[in-house]
Amino acid sequence: MMGQSEKLQKIAAEALEQGQVTMVLGWCKKDFWWQAPVAFITDPASAARLVWDPFTVYNPVKYLLDNHHCHEKIGVFVKGCDSRAVNRLLQDRRLEREKVVLFGVPCDGKTDAAKIKAAFPGRKISAVSRVDEKLLVDTDSGTETLPAAGYLLDKCQTCRHPNPVVYDVLAWEKVEPRPGVDDARFVRVAAVEQKELEERYAYWLRQFDRCLRCFACRNVCAACNCRTCIFDQAEPRWIGKASDLADTLNYQIIRAFHVAGRCFECGECERVCPADIPLQELNRKLIKDINEYFGEYEAGLDPNDKPPLGTYRGEDPAGFDES
Amino acid sequence: MKRIGVFLCWCGSNIAATVDIEETMAAARKMPGVVYVDHNKYTCSEIGQAMIREAIAAHRLDRVVIGSCSPRMHENTFRKTVEAAGLNPFYLEIANIREQCSWVHKDKLTATEKAISLIRTAVAKAARSEPLFSTEMSIERRALVIGGGIAGIQAALDIADAGFEVDLVEKEPSIGGRMAQLDKTFPTLDCSACILTPKMVDVAQHGNINLITYSEVEKVEGFVGNFTVTIRNRARSVDMEKCTGCGDCYAKCPSKVDSEFEMGLAKRRAIYTPFPQAVPNKPAIDRANCRYFTSGKCKVCQKVCPAGAIDYEQQDQLVEKKYGAIVVATGFDTHKLDNYGEYAYGKHPDVITSLEFERLVNASGPTGGKILRPSNGQPPKNVAFIQCVGSRDKAKGNPYCAKICCMYTAKHAILLSEKVPGANAFVFYIDVRTPGKDYEEFYNRAYEECGATYIRGNVSKVFPDGDKLVVRSVDALSGALVELVVDMVVLATSVDARADARELAQKLSITTNAYNFFNEAHPKLRPVETQTAGVFLAGACQGPKDIPDTVAQASAAAVKVVSLLNKESLLSNPTVAEVDIKLCSGDMSCLAVCPYGAIAEKFIEERHGREIRKRRVAEVNTALCQGCGACTVACRPGAINLKGFTNEQILAEVDAICL
């Protein structure tokens, strides 16, 4: 039986050979076992570099913004979350559907390298691979087996759409969402909501006080796709450049509101945050509020839907809750 | 550095009693860019304005900040003042230290502190103001009136009399609207048709009015002075040029359907004029009920038409026309009674609505003007009138008062006593509301002279008993249970907005309230304007109204149209949105939120090395833009800016308050 990586390689090589696309975005292996960065493949021979392993978490879709002008058509491998990024870009009119061929990759969750490292303190790991629901960890003292479910990235544990929501070709059979993801979706939000106002404010101050304003959360986010982000503008000065908590709060609040109603819950912002700020709690709080005020809405499922915060309906609530 | 002058107004004691003017002046002198500070007891007076003009010249001021009342009061006054002194009028900034400061504070210390803060904010904003200029726009000197009821008729006649061409669009085959269905009118008991039909004929004969019946507005584009409207002329199947209105066709037409005009109490033919005095008095074929259009056979009307006017091949025509102003006069619908099963409407033929009663009383109605029970054709002895059916009912109807029901019910009671001698009228009411000239007297007449019995109480149930009806209620004044046996029940049905009002509002870029009545621009001071310049309202489409109010509003709307069309040209509002295309991502979230349809997408070409790339950006139509600023909020990269209220200015104001 052909391995999953080989399947991706075959799809990419064929698309390039047939001239269907002139570039393919997927994942490759580079220096470290815990990384599978985005690969930019332009000739069929290089398609052999493509991999599908426990660490292909990165979203290749945002790279389309830089590349779609230079290519007639680009092929992109998309997991469930990545496919919703495509819909995000389509709805934001930053991409045209006919410019891309989407190779859908049903995804059973990506592995958190930190959790693996923590499981083997002091041991040197050389490779991690996955066979169904098992992780095989090659260490300097032999191969160990771990249950994959216990070592998933946090964001994958609450993933409601593991299968691509839009695709042209599917690499393999669709997978089932993990049981209990719907219940888990707003658990952390509810925990924060239960705090008293003062305590909640102190909680968020404590979180944002760690923010370095490295903008990794913005850079990785497919909803943050403006040509020139307001935080990169010198005039008007939307946030001060100095290290000041007020400006950091300003940044974080503006970021959260710029993705409100548009965030498709890929959780990349939280994953890449070097300060471990729980950004998903903020994003999901806004999603929860939108659901409650404007009816259930999930962004990134249909690029032609009417986003509740971008459209007006007479029955929209007009109140302002000061709690 | 800008040279800013700050002028503080006492407004008599309105401001000076609560704000320490001396201290505020001292603080203003230290603000960045301020080179001159002065004060005046009444800055809006000629002396106060002269002081500003002189100071601009003497101190070479290039920005002016006035601490005074709300800019809604005197912004235009002071803009003219600074313009007279040679500055751009938008170099003026007003700090509202009256409504937002002295009037809302009692303590002089805090009020003074707030006044200083407001002045500092205005100074910061003024330092960043740019000169703004209006442009001149031409005007298409024709008007469109949508709806041919009494409101549309009156507005069209007034505009036409002023010398402007008017197109009057009506969706039915005839103008006349609701008023044509009424029998008598309160409080004078004039015959409705007798006072309406002369106006209908005036419309038909007026050289400046172009009557477009059996037609609807399909699309509205453009802006004040320059609307382009697409009108759908529905296929009438009758050649209006050839038809003489002889009526042979509908005398012979074999298909009979319920007449909308007679509220279903009588039949009409598939080829029909809605009522005998119709204008134009030329029939239309209702294709949904026409035997030829449904079965392919018949053509009786074509055979009998002596003029050869029947044309089954006619198609809907879309006609595009240009207008400078639009009057919306689309009227109202009566409330649907689906939620009022307890009144047995639709279950018992003797329970009728007030509009059906109008037809029963009318000489040209189904009974020739005799009030007869629909069930057996006998005159009723006792009639119950139930008011507020669907009105003032938060639970299942309209929460608002429909305004006309108290008066028309009094009228019905009077008409009943006149037409059926000895008959008794029982009126169930919540309150009787009669504000209006001669209205209270009219209502008094109903119970004093005509013997109507008024019972305060909500009717809980109407049910048949033999060939009679029982009305069960509580007499709220005595607390007693009332059960009346009557021959007929008349429901005073509430007034709803037209079912398609929201759709039309969208086409016109105007707003509706929660009940789909069109919103006026200001509930008191701009009652016939809408938020969209050049679109005006008349009649019940804006809210429930009786005929006198409707006619008054229609004439008011006409005056607004005439004063607009009389202008040589229009000056555009310079505080409009502007797109910085280098920042624009082209995601068009601004377009989605623009209530005025003022934003469109366009493609620009850009060089990238040797390559030319096309890129989508937003573009503002400055004639349509009303400067509301919704787009600036929706724009994430801050690429869209409102002139006169730029992001830079707003941030400077925030800094001035907070830092």
Q: What is the pLDDT of residues B268-290, one digit of tens each?
A: 999 999 999 999 999 999 999 99
**B178 and B269 housed in the same domain:** yes
**B64 and B191 housed in the same domain:** no
**B548 and B625 housed in the same domain:** no
The H-or-E segment that residue A212 falls in is none
Q: Kindly report, residue by residue over B356-383, the tens digit of the pLDDT.
A: 999 999 999 999 999 999 999 999 999 9
Cβ–Cβ of B592/A311 closer than 8 Å?
Answer: yes
**B341 and B316 housed in the same domain:** no
Q: Which two tokens stand for residue B98?
A: 């009256």
Q: Is B534 a residue whose pLDDT tops 60?
A: yes
Average pLDDT of chain B is 95
Among left, alpha and beta (phi > 0; psi -120 to 50; other), residue B454 is beta
Average pLDDT over residues B421-443: 96
**B346 and B272 housed in the same domain:** no
Average pLDDT over residues B107-115: 96
Q: List the beta bridge partners of residue B145.
A: B168, B327
DSSP for A228-244 reads: S-GGG-SSS-SS-SS--
Beta carbons of A54 and A269 less than 8 angstroms apart: no
pLDDT of residue B133: 94
Average pLDDT over residues B585-614: 90
**B148 and B98 housed in the same domain:** no
Where in chain A do CATH 1.10.1060 domains reside? 185-294
Distance, first Cα to last Cα, chain B:
20
Average pLDDT over residues B450-477: 95
Give the best residue of A66, A95, A230, A247 to mutate against chain B (max B CB count within 10 A).
A230
Closest of B308, B279, B60, B284 to residue B149, by C-alpha: B279
Helix then strand count (H, E) for chain A reads 12, 8
- Could you give the CA distance from residue B546 to residue B179 in angstroms, rounded to a whole number? 10
Q: Confirm or reject contact between B592 and chain A (CB < 8 A).
A: yes
**Burial class of A305 by CB neighbour count within 10 A (0 to 12, 13 to 18, 19+):** middle
Q: Give the domain extent around B66.
A: 4-126
Residue B134 lies in a domain: no
Cβ–Cβ of A236/B647 closer than 8 Å?
Answer: yes
Q: Which two tokens stand for residue A295?
A: 């009816």
Proportion of chain A above pLDDT 90, given as a percent: 84
Provide the chain A residues 88-127 that lie in CB contact (below 8 A) with chain B.
92-94
pTM equals 0.69
Q: Which two tokens stand for residue B582?
A: 């280098």
Q: Which two tokens stand for residue B45?
A: 């007076």
Cβ–Cβ of A230/B514 closer than 8 Å?
Answer: no
Last residue of a domain, one of B565, B587, B619: B565
Closest of B569, B591, B570, B572 to residue B640, by C-alpha: B591
pLDDT of residue A292: 92
B7: confidence class by pLDDT, cuts 50, 70, 90: very high
**B525 and B404 housed in the same domain:** no
Q: Kindly report, residue by residue over A203-243, the tens digit of the pLDDT.
A: 999 999 999 999 999 999 999 999 999 999 988 888 888 88
- Residue A12 sits at φ, ψ, to 5 deg, of -65, -45
pLDDT of residue A1: 57
In this structure, of A127-136, B115-124, B227-236, the range with the lowest mean pLDDT score is A127-136
pLDDT of residue B603: 96
Beta carbons of B127 and B2 less than 8 angstroms apart: yes
Beta carbons of B613 and A69 less than 8 angstroms apart: yes
DSSP for B576-622 reads: -EEE-TTT-----HHHHH-TT--EEEEEEEEEETTEEEEEEEEEE-T
Q: Is B175 a residue whose pLDDT tops 60?
A: yes
Nearest by CB to A229, which of B593, B637, B651?
A: B637
Q: Give A311 or B313, the one with higher predicted confidence.
A: B313
Positive or negative, the CA dihedral B623, B329, B491, B436 is positive
- Helix residue spans in B85-191 (DSSP H): 108-126, 150-161, 177-181
Q: Give B413 or B222, the one with higher predicted confidence.
A: B413
**B173 and B288 housed in the same domain:** yes
Q: Is A322 a residue whose pLDDT tops 60?
A: no
pLDDT of residue B365: 93
- Could you give the CA distance from residue A258 to residue B637 in angstroms, rounded to a whole number? 9
CA B236 vs. chain centroid, Å, equals 29
Does residue B187 have a cis bond before it (omega within 30 degrees)?
yes
Proportion of chain B above pLDDT 90, given as a percent: 92
Nearest by CB to B637, which of A230, A310, A314?
A: A230
Beta carbons of A267 and A155 less than 8 angstroms apart: yes
Nearest by CB to B616, which of A93, A226, A314?
A: A93
pLDDT of residue B597: 85
Q: Which two tokens stand for residue A70?
A: 């230079």
ipTM confidence: 0.88
**B180 and B314 housed in the same domain:** yes
Domains in chain B, number = 4
- Distance from the Cα of A201 to chain B's closest Cα (Å) equals 20
Query: β-strands B190-191, B184-185: how paired?
Result: antiparallel
Which residues lie below 8 Å from residue B421, measured CB to CB, with a gap of 6+?
none
pLDDT of residue B221: 87
The CATH number linked to B444 is: 3.50.50.60
Does residue B280 have a cis bond before it (omega within 30 degrees)?
yes
Residue B572 lies in a domain: no
Last residue of a domain, one of B101, B126, B151: B126
The CATH number linked to B629 is: 3.30.70.20
A318: confidence class by pLDDT, cuts 50, 70, 90: low
Last residue of a domain, one of B478, B496, B514: B496
Q: Is A255 a residue whose pLDDT tops 70?
A: yes
Q: Is A320 a residue whose pLDDT tops 80?
A: no
pLDDT of residue A321: 53
- Could you give the CA distance from residue B277 to residue B275 in angstroms, rounded to a whole number? 6
Q: Confirm or reject contact between B588 and chain A (CB < 8 A).
A: yes
pLDDT of residue A323: 46
- Distance from the Cα of B128 to chain A's closest Cα (Å) equals 11
Residue B188 lies in a domain: yes
Closest of B537, B549, B562 to residue B330, by C-alpha: B537
Count of C-beta atoms within a 10 Å radius of residue B8: 26
A314: confidence class by pLDDT, cuts 50, 70, 90: low
Q: Confirm or reject contact between A227 and chain B (CB < 8 A).
A: yes
CA angle A30, A32, A34 (to 5 degrees): 110
pLDDT of residue A319: 61
Q: Is B214 a residue whose pLDDT tops 70?
A: yes
Give the best residue of B509, B517, B580, B585 to mutate against chain A (max A CB count within 10 A).
B585
**B475 and B505 housed in the same domain:** no
Closest of B622, B509, B486 to residue B135, by C-alpha: B622
E-strand ranges in B41-185 read: 63-68, 92-96, 136-137, 142-146, 165-169, 184-185
DSSP for A105-163 reads: ------B-HHHHHHHSTTPPEEEEEEETTEEEEEETTEEEEEEGGGGB-HHHHT-S--S
Q: Please report, as a single letter, which amino acid is at residue A167.
A: Y
Average pLDDT of chain A is 93
Q: Which two tokens stand for residue B278?
A: 């119709």
Helix then strand count (H, E) for chain B reads 18, 34
CATH 1.10.1060 at A185-294, yes or no: yes
E-strand ranges in chain A read: 23-27, 38-41, 74-78, 100-104, 125-131, 134-139, 142-147, 169-170
Task: Indicate the length of chain A as a whole number.
Answer: 323
The H-or-E segment that residue B643 falls in is none
pLDDT of residue A229: 94
- Could you give the CA distance from residue A177 to residue A159 in angstroms, rounded to a whole number? 7
- Could you give the CA distance from residue B11 to residue B476 in angstroms, rounded to a whole number? 53
Cβ–Cβ of A230/B638 closer than 8 Å?
Answer: yes
Q: Please report, as a single letter, which amino acid is at residue A15.
A: A
| Nearest chain A residue to B590, by CA | A310
DSSP B335: P
**B477 and B345 housed in the same domain:** yes
Count of C-beta atoms within a 10 Å radius of residue B133: 11
For tokens 């912004």, name the residue: B75
**B469 and B596 housed in the same domain:** no
- Helix residue spans in B87-163 (DSSP H): 108-126, 150-161
Average pLDDT over residues B491-501: 97
DSSP B217: E
Nearest by CB to B586, which of A93, A233, A238?
A: A93
